[in-house]
Structure 1
């Protein structure tokens, strides 16, 4: 049975040390996942999926804004395994493969019988989770062109990069401006409706809980607690483990403030639509576009433009004032117009904002923070504390594989299952 509680009023007995995963466990394993964005829902899914069938488990997801209420729900959703220079990211193949698996899980939960035909996609753009339309990146400078050409040689077979000329690019997007007659096309890249994806992934978690609970094995429970967590110590005596997946908000917890190498950055995404009386619509299956700003296409007359970068912001609200909207559009519109001049015919509808947690730069790029943080929280209970955060602007790519690794580490209580590149930050902070 699945219970979804928004009251936050459940009471538990005092937690014992983390038990061995066997049918001899006298009570359910109890986990708190803080945050219902990309990181939190991936961890939740994998905890349910990887926990042995004969072991009872209870998971409470805490998020005062609900599913996708933070930066994850605002994300543009352009998914591919490459950096802006079209260079394969750290563990790009693993992250890409696991993310596609989670997308399939979410699609099956929301549309188990939906046919993925081109006609269906055109007619149901707003209902789909994954828009399989590819991503196009025009080269905009000579330096940019050289770098892109060099790195395009090392793409994945499952997400290849095609070098195309201006004519081929304009066959995909009429009136596109390709200043150097070269663009890089990723036909297998996808555009995700982030909010809808997160809602569907939560439904998948509910369904998995139902399936495992009715199979005659260990009882599974899943609860959504729509309440904020002001301090981690308030959870002691309740859970076997607490997994902090709060993104930028984790730096505001008193136990973690000043102890994580994260910077906050607010980003604003603008929604544009084309009036019905204008015939110059975006091609029905045309790709989304990457450049100095990105265009995430949601249909022939609907697209999202992003995003801005406001460093050191503490504003996590998705609501955007008229003044902030005007600044964002003034910043983004010239960048988009430089490669898609037809955007001038489109009308601004609204803007949404999100606060991202940006990790430090490492030799492998900007990598998320992961691992057990008992030594940072400094508590006196048997509860184990973990962190999975700092996904930055690539949270959608990283969340599947790294959520799986986090769940494996939590279930086995073994920090060493996480790649050292993602836990080395602890040594640096403690040095």
Structure 2
């Protein structure tokens, strides 16, 4: 049951009864999902609530698959005509990106006074758009439909070969058409996640200084081997571990997830080559994508190794060589200039791919107490299976999950995202 406060905000009997004692939450995983949940738990909780959040991740902020993400962000799909709830996802993701950038801007300003000295390195968001050349009839038809039904704040422009070549020379276009998303962005995932954690820390300070309820956020750089070891310590545990959720004994083999390891390659343009990538040049989507980092630096991805259990970010020489052999022909078919770039490194992540539903491949959300049995003192929640669209999904789904946790009400979450658990 939810209550309406005098300010018009929703609350619950649980929150009302706990206003005098600290409410403790554990968030497992410090990637896109975990940090979004942590932010929204702090932001959406009543100001007078005493709240402590422990963020568990043995790898630290962005140490898993989220930190390896290529970061190409737009609300469309080349496989389906409409992406389910794409507008909400896009809106909430842009909000979090802005929040992260503002946190770093404040950090840099304060560091001039000697109060801070953290180096985030590189950009958080590169706003140069994304270009997708039409390479086959199926993609051409789907992208053309997307262009006719695009969002106002992320429009799709259909451009001819001459216009495309002004953006990215040289470019190969089999159909002499390309789809340009000027509002789409490239996110530096590692920098973004560190910045979002900083934003969470700043929000804790702001809320605690307001004189109402005390807020705490603690990063625990250790892993949780089983959920029951947290029983009795927390009011709620939110599992945001991606593919590693299946390693928890209570969930192992019971989640409808598929694992897929992806390798991303870092390429650099040698200094002796004068024709660098243009400053205004967008990133490129095709059978292999190119996430542009600057005039002479880019990431190319990604491979798909299904059923892999290897979550290590380290890439062997053989694995990197195989990835290069897979990706380079695909990338050069669209951007021939890539053959002049040289290999500079590789990284990998293990994605948790969600099941296919009538609405597309949708993540898994909801309460999972049914996996652990009766008479539990704690509520256990899952936000998982974000797959290859984790960056797009994480803002909106993190907000939904946080609200469901705070109000102890799974009905806040759309049934399309919780129906997987009803089949267990």
TM-score clears 0.5: yes
Provide the residue aligned with 1:64 in structure 2: 58
Shift of residue 126, structure 1, vs aligned partner:
5.5
Q: 2: CA distance between counterparts of 1:227 and 1:62?
A: 6
Q: 2:42 aligns with which of 48, 52, 72?
A: 48
Q: 2: CA distance between counterparts of 1:23 and 1:211?
A: 24
Provide the residue aligned with 1:93 in structure 2: 87
Q: RMSD over aligned Cα, in angstroms?
A: 1.7
Contact 1:53-1:218 within 8 A present in 2 as well: yes
Q: 1:150 aligns with which of 145, 148, 160?
A: 145
Residue 22 of structure 1 aligns to a residue in which SS? helix
Shift of residue 423, structure 1, vs aligned partner:
0.2
Q: 1:367 aligns with which of 346, 362, 379?
A: 362
Q: 2: CA distance between counterparts of 1:39 and 1:155?
A: 26
Provide the residue aligned with 1:14 in structure 2: none
Provide the residue aligned with 2:203 in structure 1: 208
Residue 150 of structure 1 aligns to a residue in which SS? helix
Provide the residue aligned with 1:403 in structure 2: 398
Contact 2:242-2:384 within 8 A present in 1 as well: yes
Q: 2: CA distance between counterparts of 1:275 and 1:89?
A: 39
1:104 aligns with 2:98: yes
Shift of residue 23, structure 1, vs aligned partner:
7.7
Call closer, same or farther: CA 1:231–1:125 in 2, change over 3 Å. Answer: closer
Shift of residue 388, structure 1, vs aligned partner:
0.1
Shift of residue 27, structure 1, vs aligned partner:
1.3
TM-score by length of 2: 0.93
Shift of residue 301, structure 1, vs aligned partner:
0.2
Runs (5+) with no aligned partner, structure 2: 1-11, 110-118
Provide the residue aligned with 2:115 in structure 1: none
1:427 aligns with 2:422: yes
Residue 112 of structure 1 aligns to a residue in which SS? helix
Q: 1: CA distance between counterparts of 2:382 and 2:18?
A: 28
1:198 aligns with 2:198: no
TM-score by length of 1: 0.91
Contact 1:87-1:152 within 8 A present in 2 as well: no
Contact 2:25-2:54 within 8 A present in 1 as well: yes
Contact 2:27-2:34 within 8 A present in 1 as well: yes
Provide the residue aligned with 2:112 in structure 1: none
Q: 1:176 aligns with which of 149, 171, 174?
A: 171
Shift of residue 375, structure 1, vs aligned partner:
0.5
Contact 1:86-1:152 within 8 A present in 2 as well: no
Shift of residue 40, structure 1, vs aligned partner:
0.1
Shift of residue 24, structure 1, vs aligned partner:
5.9
1:36 aligns with 2:63: no
Provide the residue aligned with 1:118 in structure 2: none
Structure 1 stretches of 4+ with a deviation exceeding 3 A read 85-88, 112-115
Provide the residue aligned with 2:158 in structure 1: 163
Shift of residue 147, structure 1, vs aligned partner:
2.8
| Partner deviation per Cα, 1:295-315 (whole Å, 9 max, x = no partner) | 000000000000000001010
Q: 1:235 aligns with which of 212, 230, 235?
A: 230
| Partner deviation per Cα, 1:150-197 (whole Å, 9 max, x = no partner) | 332110001000000111111000101111100000000000000000
Provide the residue aligned with 2:243 in structure 1: 248
| Partner deviation per Cα, 1:341-369 (whole Å, 9 max, x = no partner) | 00010000110000000000011110100
Q: 1:220 aligns with which of 193, 215, 224?
A: 215
Paired residues in the alignment total 404
| Partner deviation per Cα, 1:316-356 (whole Å, 9 max, x = no partner) | 01000001000111100000000000001000011000000
Q: 1: CA distance between counterparts of 2:374 and 2:63?
A: 29
Q: 1: CA distance between counterparts of 2:308 and 2:293?
A: 29
Residue 202 of structure 1 aligns to a residue in which SS? helix
Call closer, same or farther: CA 1:33–1:315 in 2, change over 3 Å. Answer: same
Q: 2:78 aligns with which of 77, 84, 88?
A: 84
Contact 1:88-1:155 within 8 A present in 2 as well: no
Provide the residue aligned with 2:308 in structure 1: 313
1:290 aligns with 2:267: no
